[in-house]
Every structure is written in C-alpha cells, then in structure tokens.
Structure 1
Amino acid sequence: MGRVTGLDPDPRRPAAVRVHEDGAHAFTVAREAAARLGLVVGRELDLGLRHALQEAADTEAALRAALRLLGARAHAVAELGRRLGRKGHQPAAVQAVLERLAADGLLDDAAFARSFVERGAGRGRGPARLRRDLLARGVARADIDAALGAWLARSGEEPAPPRELLERRARALAGLPAPMRRRRLLAFLARRGYRGAAARRAVAQVA
C-alpha cells in the first residue's frame, strides 16, 4: 500500500495540487478536494482513498479541458458536455464540472442564446437558421424563444436579409434564367434562416 510523499502546488493551476505516491506523481486534484479528503504527507493510500482521488483527478482533468474550451469561445451547457465526453472524460466528472461552471456563472444557456443571436444576426443569419443552430447546441426552446423574441423586438419588424450578401449571390447566378435565379436565391436565404415575405421582398429587389 502506497503513501502520500508529497503535496505540491500545480504550477499550471494554483487551485490544484500534485499528489505524489512513494516519490512519484500520482494524481492532480483540486486543493479543495485534497482538503476534503484529508490528504497529508505520510497518509496511506488505501483502496477507498485511492478511488476518491481518482474521481477527484478525473474531475480536475475535465475542468481544465472545459476551461480551455471556454477560453476559445462560449459554449452551451449540453454542447460543452458533449465535447468533454468526446475527449474521453468520465460522465460523472463531466456532470460535476458542468454544475460547477454553471454555479460560477461561466455557463448560462440564456445568456449564451442572447449572445449567439446577436453575433449570428450580425453575420447575416436569419431567425430560422439561428433557431436551428441553437437547437443543435442543445439550448432549450424557452431560452431560444426569449433570445429571438428580444432581438425581433429591438428590430421592430421581421428582419431583412443583408442586401450586400444577397447581391453577391445574385451576381454569381446572373447567367441563369430569371425564375431559376429567384428560386436559387430563395433557397440560399432559406439556408441562412430567412423565409417568408421578408425573403421574397429581398429577392424581388435584386432579381
């Protein structure tokens, strides 16, 4: 049975410690986990403690991966969970990390949906496309409805497709017969989330 022979601060994350067993690094866990488990130099690592340390190490590894992903861009809760799962992190560790990040305010699907809608609208995406993309990321319909509703309320009317975007596409289709060109333009707008009267009006202006 091994013993704890060292508890060193982790140079990459001050909130974690490196646990050494018989002189070799064995686990990296959060400081709070080390304190909760009563780790001290000289303590024997029985099977129960070893199992608890492994769970804490799994959670610490999942947390680090989550923070790296969030550092690159915002994520919805379910989306982040799926990405952590694909990286091989244990389901229990992933769930613990998602709950912690949500409690710390680093994961918030309502705020994510609002930001996603604003950014997507600025890139020429319409309501249907934005809804589809948010659903694919696992955002709840209630959060999507609230985000889209707030955006549409600020717009004051059904948003029109960006004119410059549509004109570029129309120029690329200039050699086609007019009816086919209009159908292609409507399909192009539908893929970007613009449908109905707003899409038809926009196409009529360029085709």
Structure 2
Amino acid sequence: MLDTPVSIRRAAMNLLARREHGHVELARKLLLRGADADMIEVELQRLTEDGLLSEQRYLESYIRSRANAGRGPMRIREELTQRGLQRGDVEQALNAADIDWDENMRELWQRRFAGQVVDLKDKAKQSRFLAQRGYEADAVRRLLDKQGWTNAQEFSD
C-alpha cells in the first residue's frame, strides 16, 4: 500500500528507473498500486520539478522505440493520444524525431515481404499490413507502385 509521500515517490522512481513514463501513465500505475490521487499529483509534480519525470523524454523514447519496432507515425500518434498525451505535443515530437518514415516503412516491407510484390492480390495484402502498422496510404502506394504493380498493369494482361 502506498500511503505516504515517500512510498509514492519511491514507487514512481522505481517505475521510472525501468523506462520513461508519461505523467498520466505513471499516475494510473500508482493508483492501481493503492496510492491516494491527491498525493500522487503532489509527488509527480515534485518529480517533474526535479527533472526525473519528463513528458518530452517520454515522447522521444516512445517514438524511437515504436519506430524501431516498425510502427508508422499514424499508429504512434494514436497510441500516444490514447495514453493521455496532448495531440499538439505528440505532433511536435513526431516532427522533431529524426526518423525517415519512408525508409522505415521500406525496411519493414523488405524484412516482411522480401521486397517482392507477386501480383495485385499480394499488393493489397502488403498494403493492408503497412496501413495497420501506421503508415500513410500515399506513402504505401508510392512504395508498392515502385515495384511495378499498378492497377493499369493488371488490366493490360
């Protein structure tokens, strides 16, 4: 039971030692462990003032981690807003991230599909996969159209 400011701070610091957390996520975890909501806010404010809790570091860390796992900007944006982060902050962090999303998508596509599009059905399957991972439809279309499969080709056979 987390019933003192010291125990709440210690629990929060233990969580932060494992990985970066956002304010909302950390508060939720502490609530689940039985801490008082008012005491949580006071301690999280202190951690923020001490530089131990940072939304900006959390955003950067999360975006880098998810991008390395093959997730696209649309999916990452949605995940972060569901985690209680402000859309403007998320947009700013995504724009500031030094990630070439097209290259990220191409590398994922290479790993998953060996860089090949066999036919139009295969192209649709690959397109759905990349869209579910959070890549924009135009970027997916550009990548797969470079492989020589356009709608016109299917009808010319």
Q: CA RMSD in A?
A: 2.6
Alpha-carbon offset, residue 144 of structure 1: 0.6
Give the CA deviation at 1:199: 1.1
Q: Paired residue for 1:162, among 105, 109, 133?
A: 105
> 2:44: which partner in 1?
98
Cα deviation, 1:8-55, whole Å, max 9, x if unaligned, reads xxxxxxxxxxxxxxxxxxxxxxxxxxxxxxxxxxxxxxxxxxxxxxx9
* Largest Rg, 1 or 2: 1
CA distance in 1 between counterparts of 2:104 and 2:128 reads 13
Aligned-residue offset at 1:191: 1.9
- Matched length: 146
Aligned mates of 1:93, 1:135 — CA distance in 2: 25
Kindly provide the amino acid, as one letter, of the partner of residue 99 in structure 1: Q
1:128-139 equivalences under 5 Å are 128-139=74-85
Q: Distance in 1 between matches of 2:101 and 2:33?
A: 41
Asked if the contact 1:161/1:202 (under 8 Å) is kept, the reply is no
More strand by share: 1
**How far did 1:129 drift?**
1.3
Percent identical pairs in the alignment equals 34
**In 2: Cα distance, 1:184 partner to 1:79 partner:** 35
The answer on 1:115 being equivalent to 2:61 is yes
Structure number with higher relative contact order (C-alpha < 8 Å, ≥ 6 residues apart): 2
Indicate conservation of the 8 Å contact 1:77/1:109, yes or no.
Answer: yes
3-state SS, counterpart of residue 162 of structure 1? helix
**Structure 1 stretch displaced more, 63-72 or 108-117:** 108-117
Residue ranges of structure 2 left out of the alignment (5+ in a row): 150-157
Deviation at 1:115, TM superposition (A): 3.0
Which stretch shifts more, 161-170 or 90-99? 161-170
Equivalent of 1:88 in 12, 34, 58: 34
Shift in alpha-carbon separation, 1:61–1:158, aligned structure 2, 3 A: closer
Change (3 A) 1:145 1:164: closer
C-alpha displacement of 1:178: 2.6
Given that 2:11 and 2:30 are in contact with CA atoms closer than 8 Å, whether structure 1 keeps it comes out as yes
Q: TM-score, length-normalised on structure 1?
A: 0.61
- 1:42 corresponds in structure 2 to none
Specify every segment of 5 or more residues in structure 1 that has no aligned partner in the other structure, as ranges: 1-54
Change over 3 Å in CA distance of 1:170–1:204 after alignment to 2 = farther
TM-score, normalised by the number of residues in structure 2: 0.78
1:1-207 alignment runs, 5 A limit: 57-151=3-97, 154=98, 159-170=102-113, 178-205=119-146
